[in-house]
Amino acid sequence: MSRVWALFKAHPYISNVLGYTALFASADLIQQSVLGGKGVSGDSAGIDLCQTARVATVGFCFHANFNYHWLRWLERMLPGGGVKAVAGKVVVDQLFAAPLTISAFYVGLSFLENKDDPLEDWRQNFWTSYKTGVVYWSTMQAVNFAFIPPVARTAFVGGIALTFTCFLCHLRQQGSSKPE
């Protein structure tokens, strides 16, 4: 384990971004297999790997990279793990990063699916996602900012994002399976 940690500390950007992306994509696989996701096509005959690849693409191209730089910026602006610094980071994170990352998820996937209206999923799911996320992420980010070393925060966020991304994928899948 000490070798893994040494490698992680030696290459924090690569370790964090790849770890986050793998966890982000895993959330879609979990959602499809455990929660009965059907992917965009509505086909329930197994796992839609194209859907998982799209989720991984959004995770890699936006979420992992954004979170890596965002968390570093937050630490520079509000350094430390005291109550005041942690509370400040959580509030700023929920006011700015949360709406941006939720929007990137819905709009990014819609764009990759060539939907006629790339904002449709966003309009249907943003407020539910944001309100749920404020409760979930405020708690998880408080733990992150208080106890996780800055070098490992993006990977930690990837781990806790696994649960939230399952929720987002499921919410999105539920919306796409509604009769028109």
Tens-digit pLDDT profile for residues 94-148: 999 999 999 999 999 999 999 999 999 999 999 999 999 999 999 999 999 999 9
| pTM over the 0.95 mark | no
Q: Is 41 helix (H, G, I), strand (E, B) or coil?
A: coil
Which residue type does 165 have? T
The per-residue pLDDT for 38 is 52
- Is the per-residue pLDDT at 160 higher than 80? yes
* 45 Cβ contact partners less than 8 Å away, ≥ 6 residues apart: none
C-alpha span between 26 and 165 (Å, rounded): 9
The per-residue pLDDT for 178 is 54
Mean pLDDT of 49-63: 94
C-alpha span between 147 and 143 (Å, rounded): 6
Chain-centre distance for alpha carbon 138: 14
Could you tell me the residue ranges of all domains in the chain?
A: 2-176
**Which pair of tokens denotes residue 81?**
């793990």
**Pair 109, 54: CB distance under 8 Å:** yes
